[in-house]
Structures are given as structure tokens and as C-alpha cells.
Amino acid sequence: MATTSTTPTKKRSEGLNPYVLLFFILVIAGIATWIVPAGQYASETKVITMVKDGIETKVSSSYTIPGSYERLPEQHGILPGQIFTSIADGLVKAAPIIFLIIFTGGALYLLEETGAIKKVLNNISRSKKLNDFLLITIFFVVFSILGTTGIVVNSIIAFVPIGLLVAKSVGMDDKFGAALVYVAAYAGFNASIMAPMTVGLSQGLADVPLLSGLGFRMVIYIAFVIAGILFLTFYTKICRNQGMVRPEIAADDSEHQTSKISALHIITLSYSAFCLVGFIFGAVEWGWGEKEMMAMFIILGVGVGVLNRMSPNSIAIGFLKGCAGMVGGAFIVGMARAIAIVLSDGMILDTIVNAIISMMDGLPKTLSALSMFGTAAIMHFFISSGSGEAAVLVPIFTPMGDLLEITRQTTVQTVLLGEGVVNCINPTSGILMAVLATAKIPYTKWVKFIWPLVFTWIVISIVALVYAVITNLGPI
């Protein structure tokens, strides 16, 4: 009697969940506090004056004193229980971002319930005038400007669901949707032209004229954005050539082929756009942040419900349902913040900085600048805040650069570009991990998708820094 055997099918790898990855990193950080010698730099507070439209704003920042590193006599090891309480601390400290993400879900759920977004995006997907390249270019130009000026950085998470909806409407995957918004904004932020809390703070700490070197940074910004547009365009072309298109698009297309946008839909979308533009205006003119954006999303959600004649109960239930859908993406910000808390409480962050910087002794001028760039990139995995990293590294790098006759403008750029190029692959970045959790993209799959663009940005940065060293980029 013949027997047949069936080969068990292998389960397709789902990749590493962002929560699992961050928890592993958190545990490793906790263990490291018992192994890595505890140490600390001395710090001082410096007040930087920024002028905008004739109005002076003073920003105080604690910065590291070069050469002041000292080993501490005792280890400050983190106990197992503290690892879990650090998660709670991270959630508390990241509360503004967390609630911003949650409120975004509530407002967009009500907006989706009106059907306005779906009909507009279906019309876009069938439009012959708006091809993939033009769609990508529009998103990159708009969001990169918001990113490079520092207007929309952490709050970019609020726009990710829109990118996912656009991706679905044109038959692309969630990686495309997340990149359409997140990568577009960070293409600008990573090569920031005038973001006050990165460029302004770094130049202030190095005693460089605020916002000087604008032309140099503008060229890098344009190169970063063009690289991002071409990367996503090529990815889209490959997906379409290989038939990697969502199967549900064909069904949606036949269902909505004759649907037209009603006057109410136009009013609803116009009101939503007014709310978003109003926030951007407030961010530019009055320095609005996460708190005001949360309020804006509440206003947006309630207004959309009223315009579409939803009952008060329907508005409340719909808003809460949308909020619930974003909890997974929101809480991950607290998990990422917990890693920084453990490293800081364990007093090993300055030890890591000192060890990496000590490796740079005796290097030639150009290699020293590139080593600063590499150090900033590595340290960004430990200090995911751009302003926090600037406060640690710029005061240390500045005297080193002076001794090597590297201009302070170049020194500032090594830090800005170093932390910038790894933003889109940094697993300790609460923003990136929240984006991936919101889009349900495993971290490993995201890295496999985005690494060619990150590598291109690194090459652009190296070329720019070599040019800066050779030409003694000024004014200082």
C-alpha cells in the first residue's frame, strides 16, 4: 500500500514585532548597567538667544563640559523590577506624543466614516494625470518642507494613517504608505535647514552664527529629497512590474467607479484641511506643539461629525473606537523612552560617549570629521533625541575640531547629519517604532525596505562633509 507524505509548508516569517525588539534592547540596556563602568561628564547650563521676526527667544540647555569625564566609584545597576517601572516612567514622560497619536486615530476614524476620503482617493487612483512619480513628489515636497523647518517632526505620526489610505487607494503596500509621509518628512528633517531645536541649538552651543551655512544645508536637503523621491518611485515601479499590487483594489475600483464626490464631502474635506493648515500656521507663528495639535484633532473630529449630522453618541463612540485602534502604536513611544531612562539612570551613557570619542585620537583632519559623523550616528541609537545628542556631542566635538583646524560649522554638520541619517532605521526612536506599529510593519522588514535609501543618504553626507573640510566651510 503506497503512502503519500506531504511536506509541511513553512510559515512565512512575520518579522520582529517592534514591541519585542524594544523589550530585548531594554533588557540588554539593563544588563549593561551592571557591566559597563559608570561614569559622568560635568555639565553646565547655557542660554541661547534665538531671534525670529524681531522677537528674541531665550532657550536654556544643559550641555557637557569637554574633558570633565570621571569614573564613578560605584555601579548604578538597574534591578529587574526597575526595568519594568522604567516602561511606566517612559509612558508618563512621552504622554504628549502618546495622546497625540491616540487622538489622531479618533479624528481620522470619524473622517473615514463620512466616506469622503475613500471617494477622493479612489478618484486619485484612477486619475491618469496623477501618476506615481507625481504623487510621490507632491508628498515629499510638502512633508519635507514641514520636516526641514521643524514644524512637523514628532507629530508626523498623525499623518501616517493618511499615507496608508493613499497607498491602499493606489494598490501599494503599507511600507509605501508609511514612507510617503514619514520618510518624506524625515528626508527634510535629517538634512534640516532651520529647525530650531537641532540646527539652532547646535550652532548656539558651538558659538556659530544662528542659521548660518544655509546654502550648504539647502543643497544637502535637496539631495536628500531627490534621493527619497527616486527611491520610492523605483520601489513602486518594481512592485507594479512584479504584480505586487493589493488584490482588493480591483474590487474597490468596480464598486466606486461611478461614485462622485458630493458637496458635503467637499465641505468635510475643506474643513479638515482648514484645521490642519490652522495648526501649521500656529506652529510657525506661535510655537504650537503636541498639546495644541491634540486639541485640533478633537475640534476636527467633532466638527466632521456635526457637518455630517452624526448624533452626539455616534461621534463619541466613533472617536473612542478610532482612539482604541491607535493604542498599539502609541504605547510603543513609552517603551522606546524607557531605554533612554535605563541608560541614564544606570550612569553608563557618558561612559559610552567617552569610549567612542577616545578612539578618534590622532586621526587626520578629514578622517576626524568623518569619525565625528560616525560617532554621532552610533550615539543616536543611545540618545534618540536630536537636541539631547547635540547637547552632549557638540560641546565635546567643538574643541577637538578647533585643535584639528576643522571649522565649527563643519563640526556642527557632523552631528546634525550623523544623527539624521540613522533616524529612519533607529530602533530606539519612539517616533519610528510608533509609525511601524501603526502601519503594522515589522522592524526587520522595514530595514530591508529602507536600507538602500539610508545608504544613499550616508554617501551624500560623506561627500558633503569632505567638501566642507576641504573648503573650510564657514563663517567660523
- pLDDT value at position 253? 47
Selection from 125, 123, 131, 166 nearest residue 262 by Cα = 123
List, in order, residues 6 or more apart from 341 with CB less than 8 Å away.
86, 89, 90, 93
Of the ranges 1-10, 75-84, 354-363, which one carries the lowest mean pLDDT score? 1-10
Between 271 and 247, where is the model more confident? 271
* pLDDT band at residue 196 under the 50/70/90 scheme: confident
286-300 pLDDT tens trace: 878 778 888 998 999
CB 63 within 8 A of CB 398: no
Contact 334, 94 (CB under 8 A): yes
Among 46-50, 247-251, 322-326, 419-423, which range has the highest average pLDDT?
419-423
Q: Are 157 and 102 in contact (CB under 8 A)?
A: no
* Among candidate residues 127, 150, 91, the one with its CA nearest the CA of residue 333: 91
pTM: 0.80
Tracing cell 547629519 back to the chain, one arrives at 417
Residue 112 has pLDDT above 90, yes or no: no
Residue 48: strand pairing partners: 59
Residue 245 has a pLDDT of 65
What pLDDT is recorded for position 60? 64
Better-predicted residue by pLDDT, 429 or 360: 429
Asked whether the predicted pLDDT for residue 374 surpasses 70, the reply is yes
How much is the pLDDT for 256?
44
Query: pLDDT by residue (tens digit) across 140-173?
Result: 998 998 888 877 777 788 788 888 988 988 889 9
Quote the CA–CA distance of 367 and 359 in Å, as a whole number.
Answer: 12
* CA–CA distance, 409 with 214 (Å, rounded to integer): 11
Q: Which residue has the higher pLDDT, 182 or 205?
A: 182
Q: Over 50: is that where the pLDDT of 250 sits?
A: no
Residues 149 and 193: beta-carbon distance below 8 Å: yes
Residue entry with cell 448624533 = 311
224 contacts: CB under 8 Å, gap ≥ 6: 144, 187, 188, 190, 191, 457, 460
Would you say 179 and 188 are in contact if contact means Cβ atoms under 8 Å apart?
Answer: no
- Concatenating the DSSP letter of every residue in 446-466 gives HHHHHHHHHHHHHHHHHHHHH
Distance between CA atoms of residues 163 and 139, nearest Å: 9
Mean pLDDT value across the chain = 85
| Residue with the three cell numbers 509605501 | 176
Read off the C-alpha cell for 444: 526587520
**What is the reported pLDDT for 56?**
61
Residue 410 per-residue DSSP state:
H
Q: Are strands 55-64 and 39-40 parallel, antiparallel or unpaired?
A: unpaired
Percent of the chain with pLDDT over 90: 42
Residue 156 has what DSSP assignment? Answer: G
Task: Enter the C-alpha cell of residue 284.
Answer: 510657525
The one-character DSSP state at 3 is -
- pLDDT tens digit string along 214-249? 899 999 999 999 999 999 999 999 998 887 665 554
Q: Which of 425, 334, 447, 358 minimizes the C-alpha distance to 89? A: 334
Whether residue 104 contacts residue 294, with contact meaning beta carbons closer than 8 Å, is answered with no
Q: pLDDT category, 111, cuts 50, 70, 90?
A: confident
314 falls in which pLDDT band (50, 70, 90)?
very high
Question: Is the pLDDT score of 385 beyond 70?
Answer: yes
